[in-house]
């Protein structure tokens, strides 16, 4: 892992997201790209060249970003009592980038431009129906990104990832799926992994032979310490949340897919329900880029 993109909007959760990025960068030796998308409050006067005005605005925002990064780095180092040196926050490279335009589109463009390996951003929650109607930049990035997205819930402060839950429907996981992104992340964190497969009813449990899928998982997660749990629950999202609490997990890993407006209103998106009331940070793997063929739906990946 070489580059971490951290989109911020200066909300209460921005500093929290950056704290996770700093800890991850300190652990992996990555560079942080601190990214801010904005629109000007007023249009530039007709007498001014628009391109020059945009450039000036972006340069001013870059200066603000750099100041924000310095303040956050100093505050976190003080709280953690980390001395200056090779293991300190002061040695982490942070590049500030500000662009005028729509956050979602600019974030996706930045992923390619800066060859990003991981995105870390805030997750506001605020109610499932609100997300369906108003949309969420974080959820949209999760669904479209070709790199993993680590979403940090509001108010959840940094905790080292020692217990991770990977909720996935093994019966729908393709044999050719590439899980090296998850494996590398877990090895870097030295975390214990809990693979969770939930059935919706007893009939599914009786019909499904998990042995081939478990062999597949074992081959893709070589070197990772993990265990596999099975359960029968009618409400998959609630079952995942309960399992997180039982295991004292620090992180949830999912493979989210895009759902239509109607499907989200009708409670069809498991990821949407979980992000509405998150308990722990959520690592969304880029499902489409992990497959040799076209992906199915999130409903099939998580639970049938």
DSSP letters of 153-191?
ETT-------EEEEE--GGG--TT---HHHHHHHHHHT-
Which residues 6+ apart lie within 8 Å of 179 measured at CB?
217, 220, 221, 285, 290
Higher pLDDT, 274 or 282: 282
Confidence at 195, pLDDT banded by 50, 70, 90: very high
How far is Cα 198 from Cα 233, in angstroms, rounded to an integer?
7
Percentage of the residues of the chain whose pLDDT score is greater than 90: 41
For domain 3-123, give the fold: Rossmann fold (3.40.50)
Domain ranges of the chain: 3-123, 163-302
Q: What angle do CA 272, 161, 279 make, to 5 degrees?
A: 35
Q: 16 vs 88, 129, 219, 253, CA distance in Å?
A: 18, 25, 35, 19
Q: For the full predicted model, state whether its pTM sits above 0.85.
A: no
Residue 145 near residue 257, CB atoms below 8 Å: no
Structurally, what CATH architecture does the domain formed by 163-302 represent? 3-Layer(aba) Sandwich (3.40)
Other Cβ atoms closer than 10 A to 115: 12
Secondary structure (3-state) at 297: coil
How far is Cα 287 from Cα 32, in angstroms, rounded to an integer?
24
Residue 265, pLDDT above cutoff 50: no
What tokens does 17 get? 């997201």
79-136 pLDDT, tens digit per residue, is 765 554 444 787 899 999 999 999 999 999 999 999 999 999 987 654 443 333 334 7
**Over residues 259-277, mean pLDDT:** 49
Which residues 6+ apart lie within 8 Å of 291 measured at CB?
174, 176, 177, 178
**Fold matches, 3-123 and 163-302:** yes
Residue 237 near residue 267, CB atoms below 8 Å: no
171-180 pLDDT, tens digit per residue, is 888 788 888 8
Residue 291's pLDDT is 56
């Amino acid at each position: 892992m070489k580059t971490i993109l951290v989109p911020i909007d200066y909300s209460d959760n921005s500093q929290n997201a950056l704290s996770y990025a700093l800890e991850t960068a300190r652990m992996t030796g990555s560079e942080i790209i601190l990214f801010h998308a904005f629109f000007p409050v007023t249009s530039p006067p007709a007498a001014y060249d628009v391109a020059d005005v945009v450039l000036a605005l972006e340069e001013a925002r870059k200066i603000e970003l750099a100041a924000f990064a310095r303040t956050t780095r100093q505050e976190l180092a003080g709280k953690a009592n980390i001395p200056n040196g090779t293991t300190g926050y002061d040695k982490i490279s942070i590049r500030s980038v500000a662009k005028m335009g729509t956050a979602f589109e600019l974030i996706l463009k930045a992923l390619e431009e800066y060859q990003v390996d991981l995105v870390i951003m805030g997750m506001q929650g605020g109610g499932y129906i609100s997300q369906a109607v108003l949309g969420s930049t974080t959820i949209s990035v999760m669904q479209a990104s070709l790199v993993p997205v680590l979403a940090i819930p509001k108010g959840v402060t940094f905790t080292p990832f020692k217990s991770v839950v990977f909720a996935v429907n093994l019966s729908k996981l393709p044999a050719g799926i590439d899980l090296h992104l998850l494996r590398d992340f877990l090895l870097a964190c030295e975390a214990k992994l809990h693979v969770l497969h939930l059935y919706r009813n007893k009939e599914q449990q009786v019909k499904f032979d998990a042995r081939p899928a478990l062999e597949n998982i074992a081959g893709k997660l070589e070197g990772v310490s993990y265990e596999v749990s099975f359960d029968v629950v009618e409400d998959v999202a609630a079952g995942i949340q309960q399992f997180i609490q039982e295991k004292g997990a620090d992180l949830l890993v999912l493979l989210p897919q895009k759902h239509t407006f109607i499907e989200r209103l009708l409670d069809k998106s498991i990821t949407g329900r979980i992000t509405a009331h998150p308990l722990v940070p959520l690592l969304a793997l880029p499902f489409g880029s992990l497959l040799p063929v076209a992906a199915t739906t999130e409903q099939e990946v998580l639970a049938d």
